[in-house]
Each structure stands twice: as structure tokens, then as C-alpha cells.
Structure 1
């Protein structure tokens, strides 16, 4: 049995949000079309990072200066970093040469920002191995030294084997925010 994975995800937490609703860690928008590996006709896309720093980098990379307001929701509540333990089916590692050879996929097809290409790769993996695999992993577009993970879910429910470990509020003082800002050359203000 594979080792459990520690996974992280940023989300706009809202006090009192109910399960499956916006502001709760269990919410994913449906249908999903714009994510790199989305195929909403087959599965819900649950995106994570293998590290807190990676999750923050993926979530906030597009802001040049990380001021306190970047880490607040529109309602003024702190955005959150959720940590999970995943013990479900193994994920396909798209950073592994042997996996790419088996899939007949080139590294450039993983790197490309062309949804037609990446969504087709994910569709093929899901259709051929979906029940035996929990999703896929690849290197982060924003911080290639970090790994991103997509877990396949269904019916708006969290993927099997995903357990919430804890939730932390984000701010410019959070250690993972400070590290992500330094590694992405973002100014904290």
C-alpha cells in the first residue's frame, strides 16, 4: 500500500459555510471547464499541492505584491490553507519518465498551457485507469520544484481517501506565505 500523501489547498473560507457550499473546504465549482486537467463530464477536479508553499504559489502567483488584502475574501475574512491526508488510490505521476512512456506522452505535452492537450491526457488516463487510480500529479507551473495533484471526485463529494487534517488562516505573516513570496520573488507589503 502506498504511503499516505500530505496535500494542501487554499480556499476562500467563510464562517458558517455548510458542507459542499462556497466558503467550505468541500466546495468545488461545478461544472469545471477551465482547469488544466478538467473533464466535468467524467469527474470533479480537486486540485492540491504536495506542500503548503506550493498551494500558496499556485493560488496567488498572479499578484505582484502580496498585501494583507490579497489574503482576505471579499467579505473580509482570511483565506484559508487546508491540510489533508490522502490514503485513496495511487495517482499517476506525470513527472516520471516511465509513466510518460507507458502513456505515450511527451513532457512538452504536460508543460503546455493548452487545455485541449492536457484535458485529453487526463481524459485518457481516467477512462483507462480511473477506478484503479485516484488522479494524477505533475510539477507546478508556478514553482516547478513543487508537485501539484488532481484527485478525481464525483457528485460534489470529496475524493475517497481524503481526510481533513487542519485549517489555517492565511496572512502575510504566515510562514508558508513568506516562503512562497521569497521563492516567487513577490513583494510582501
Structure 2
């Protein structure tokens, strides 16, 4: 399975360092599924346009300067491969919501204390053999419910199972940008 994320890119950066697709900005804790004392949270999307839309969807106007950052880095789209058989808890599944005693509205409402506690509960779930039951969680996009979001967790002992495939610097003509703009009704100059 392929997953995508938008990040600040420095072509000279090395793996795990700022500006590289495998760098995770810290401190974490502001994301809806974050629990930095337990795991690193990798936010991704199975759709490239979903990753762009999640990152830029709150901007009222889209223009070429939205890709630039004051640090001198530029936004880029990273594509990772992950094993197809990853066990991801899907918050768009009614049985899963029952398992946690949740209603769909509790996924939609942005109550980070609540969703972070549910993520911590899922992170702690294990199989009978002791292995972690879930590799992460998925839910629908706030910006476009047909887009799915995925958060994979990683720890020092069990890094997120991500293999970097490609990095594409983003421009107004990038297919993912054009598709996200169209889906979100953002006029692109």
C-alpha cells in the first residue's frame, strides 16, 4: 500500500534529519491522535491529493507562495510504501466504534483529549501472543470525507513501517495539488 505525506523539504538533508521525508517534527502532542510519551505519530493519506488537502485545506487562497517556508525549505510530497497487511484500526467501521464505545460524532468533533485517549487505548492493545494488535488508526478527512487519513505509530524499538519511494517538490501544476484544489473548490491561478 502507498501512503503520502506533505513535508518541508531540503534536498541536501539526510534520512531522519530536518528537511528529509523521514524526519518527524517534534515536539508532538497537538495532533488529534498524538501521545508523544507513548509513540511517534506519522500522519499520512492513501491519496496524494488527500495529503495535500489535509495540509493546505485551511488556506483561503492557493498560490505559488504556499509551498515556500520561512526556513527556506519548500513543501514536497513524499510517497511511502507500507506492508499491505498492516492492521489499522478504522474509525469508519461501526463494529470498531462499538469496540471502543464510541459514536461517529465523537470521531468528527475535534476533541483532542478524547481522541488521544482512544489512540492510547488502541496502542496498548495486544494479541494473545503479546504483539501489538494495531499499527495505527484511520479516519475520514475533515476537509473531504471521501479522503481517508492514516496515522501510524512508531517507537524507538518499533519504528513505523515506512519505506520511502519518491519525493516530489510541489507546484501549482502538481497533479496532487490540482486534484486537491478541484476537490476543495480552491481556485488555482
TM-score strictly above 0.5: yes
Separation in structure 2 between the aligned mates of residue 155 and residue 30 of structure 1, nearest angstrom: 14
Cα pair 1:89 1:132 within 8 Å, conserved: no
Q: What is the SS of the residue equivalent to 1:66?
A: coil
- Which residue number corresponds to residue 63 of structure 2? 67
Deviation of 1:76 after TM superposition, in Å, equals: 4.6
Residue 145 (structure 2) aligns with: 144
What is the CA–CA distance in structure 2 between the aligned matches of 1:34 and 1:101, rounded to whole Å?
Answer: 26
Q: CA RMSD in A?
A: 1.8
| CA pair 32-77 structure 1, distance change in 2 beyond 3 A | closer
> CA separation in 1, counterparts of 2:66 and 2:44?
20
The answer for the alignment partner of 1:165 in structure 2 is 165
Whether contact under 8 Å (1:94, 1:138) holds in the other structure is yes
The two structures have a TM-score, normalised by structure 1, of 0.91
Residue equivalent to 1:103: 100
Which sections of structure 2, spanning at least 5 residues, go unmatched? none
Q: Where do residues 14-53 of structure 1 align in structure 2 (5 Å cutoff)?
A: 14-53=10-49
1:54 aligns with 2:53: no
How far 1:89 sits from its partner (Å)? 3.2
Q: Which residue does 1:89 correspond to in 2?
A: 86
> Which runs of 5 or more structure 1 residues have no equivalent in the other structure?
none
- Post-superposition offset of 1:17: 1.2
Q: TM-score w.r.t. structure 2 length?
A: 0.91
Distance across 1 between alignment mates of 2:186 and 2:52: 12
For 1:56 and 1:47, how far apart are their aligned partners in 2? 12
Q: CA deviation at 1:72?
A: 2.2
Question: What is residue 122 of structure 1 aligned with on the other side?
Answer: 119
Report the Cα distance in structure 1 between the residues aligned to 2:144 and 2:112, rounded to whole angstroms. Answer: 19
Alpha-carbon distance in structure 2 between the residues aligned to 1:16 and 1:178: 27
Q: Label 1:157 to 1:102 Cα distance change in 2 as closer, same or farther (>3 A).
A: closer
Q: Report SS of the residue matched to 1:12.
A: strand
| Per-residue deviation, 1:146 | 0.4
Shift of 1:31: 3.0
Q: CA deviation at 1:182?
A: 1.3
Map of 1:179 onto structure 2: 179
